[in-house]
Chain A
């Protein structure tokens, strides 16, 4: 272990992850260059939808299920966070994870009976649940003030620091997005994630190998609704006013359109989809009235012409490998071996460069 070796190693690391570092730096320092708080507001909404689309991606993209009522869990998160802070005086830092957990519990209750059946039943149950959720929020007036909505939700407080400015909210949602991305990445690249992919690609085979498919499906459904609840909690504290019509199934369909645009089954697609579908209607302001038409057309045309979305169903590694890190991982004659797939070779290459 001498110094130049470590230096070379460090530079190699920086170059390898340069894309990530540049992206991180860009978004971390963006608020200093954007003077117009309207743009920051749009970015915050993009952040909320990124979390939602990522969590929907867990169900629709990775587990191969099809949920079309995701806005219900988003709404549960928002309502539980609002009620917890307003009625019970729970501080924001506890209400945020707690509302995620509450949404997760509801997700478990919906998922457990319906995931034992074939996929279409889960789809219909999520849709029905979304409708019932909105109707209940409208009708339980003593709890939610019905269609009037809940106003005056307190601002989020991190320890004793109350967030007031748009920039503060921006950083909060930035941290949440990073948290979701990181934890979802860990979930997908774990043993659990492998089991999920196996279920999605070939359910029968996975079952034969000994994967308890129903168990995994319920687990991923619960986890995914947890993230939706967190996004809802942030939404409630950001807008500081929530009403039932923010969480109708049209909202769920919007999420589906984002996922269809960006592409399912990878982590880049949802980010791009959420970004594009929020940003494009804002750029073309005169088209505001036709926003939903745009979403509908996106769904139809994406399905007709590029079913996988902009980013296909594979892992995107935004890495640049420096020249001295590149190593021949296998003898030349083995590379042509059809039984050694590309993925296997890549895995080996990574192992060598890390060690």
Chain B
């Protein structure tokens, strides 16, 4: 369930970006990783609380998102889609290796990060799980309100539907693209911080697999549907944990990517998707 919440966050960020910009970003997992490491650094060396770590993760992953959007999307709007994809792949390689240079390739952890657990209906639940799930649900609610209730959300939705029409209506689509990418990246960064905090482990390749699993979740949810990707994220987390419990832990990742292939073969629109 906790994992599902995290996948839902990453997948949501991913879907927001894809839905508006029509760009699959392969650097999403690395934004996730950078968010985690920024949070780690600010919590370890500045001895801040978790909230401080989260805030710095938000700030930096948002900035990183804007940077990637400017370079990969803004300059290449007229170029074929492949170029933007290749640039995000380039960013993903670059960020992982830069993180290895800065923080070293080995797994790091924040010392003295211990929370207890409590028993509820005969099930042990740790406080970290509670914190992670609370933050995840809080964010999902915030995004929901932001997209569907505010003026900014309305412009984002308009741009996602038809950016030319939105442009004709006087929407500053450059700003909207930038904001959406930043928003998606912020979600990724927070999810990274939460994962790092939950397992208390930070390493440069931590973003790769979750980032790619978020793909699976998005495809399962049907690339453009926000609610679909959230539900699919939870489904994916639950399926993974069930497969660990009943089959084998080493086949966990095989299952999540098997879902990706199966959905692509049999129902490419996903569970809740519209035409792409």
A residues in contact (CB < 8 Å) with B: 60, 66, 68, 113-114, 117-121, 123-125, 127-129, 131-132, 135-136, 138-139, 250, 253, 256-257, 260, 290, 292-293, 295-300, 303-304, 307
Contact = CB atoms under 8 A, between A and B. Distances in A.
Contacts of B81: 66, 119-120
Chain B, interface SS category = helix
Given A292-B93, A293-B98, A66 B276 contact: no
Given A117-B264, A131-B212, A303-B90, 8 more contacts: A124-B215, A127-B212, A135-B254, A139-B250, A139-B254, A253-B92, A257-B90, A300-B90
A129 B84 CA distance: 22
A292 B96 contact: yes
Contacts of B258: 132
B219 to A, nearest CB: 6
A190 B110 CA distance: 62
B86 A260 contact: yes
Contact of A296 (B24, B71, B85, B90): B90
B251 interface: yes
B163 to A, nearest CB: 18
B91 A296 contact: yes
B204 to A, nearest CB: 11
Contacts of A304: 71, 75-76, 87
Contacts of A128: 212, 215-216, 257, 260-261, 264
Contacts of B265: 113-114, 125
A299 B71 CA distance: 12
18 contacts: A68-B85, A68-B89, A117-B268, A125-B265, A128-B212, A128-B215, A132-B254, A135-B251, A135-B253, A139-B250, A139-B251, A253-B92, A256-B86, A297-B90, A299-B90, A300-B91, A303-B90, A304-B75
A143 B199 CA distance: 33
Given A135-B253, A303-B83, A113 B264 contact: yes
Contact of B90 (A60, A120, A298): A298
A127 B87 contact: no
Interface residues of B, number: 38
B257 A135 contact: yes
A95 B87 CA distance: 38
Contacts of A135: 251, 253-254, 257
Contact of A300 (B24, B87, B212, B261): B87
Contact of B86 (A118, A124, A129, A299): A299
B79 interface: yes
B43 to A, nearest CB: 27
Contacts of A290: 97, 101
A298 to B, nearest CB: 7
Given A135-B253, A307-B79, A307-B83, A124 B260 contact: yes
Nearest to B213: A131
Contacts of B242: none
Interface in B207-264: 212, 215-216, 219, 250-251, 253-254, 257-258, 260-261, 264
Nearest to A119: B81
B93 A253 contact: yes
Contacts of B254: 132, 135-136, 139
Nearest to B93: A296
A303 B94 contact: no
Given A128-B257, A304-B71, A299 B93 contact: yes
A124 B24 contact: yes
Contacts of A250: 93
A68 to B, nearest CB: 7
Contacts of A300: 71, 87, 90-91, 94
Contact of A60 (B82, B101, B251, B260): B82
A118 B96 contact: no
B249 to A, nearest CB: 10
Contacts of A299: 86-87, 89-90, 93
Contacts of B93: 250, 253, 292-293, 295-296, 299
Which of A118, A253, A296, A307 has the most chain B CB atoms inside 10 A of its CB?
A296
A204 B85 CA distance: 23
Most buried by A among B82, B84, B257: B82
B97 to A, nearest CB: 4
A319 to B, nearest CB: 30
Nearest to B83: A303
Contacts of B79: 303, 307
A91 B254 CA distance: 33
Contacts of A131: 212, 253, 257
Contacts of B82: 60, 66
Nearest to B248: A139
B97 A125 contact: no
A120 B87 contact: no
A124 B89 contact: no
A125 B264 contact: yes
Interface string B20-43: 000010000000000000000000
A197 B265 CA distance: 26
A290 B100 CA distance: 10
A190 B106 CA distance: 52
B74 to A, nearest CB: 11
A124 B213 CA distance: 11
Contacts of B90: 257, 295-300, 303
Nearest to B260: A128
Interface string B172-215: 00000000000000000000000000000000000000001001
A296 B261 contact: no
B87 A303 contact: yes
A120 B90 CA distance: 18
A207 B240 CA distance: 42
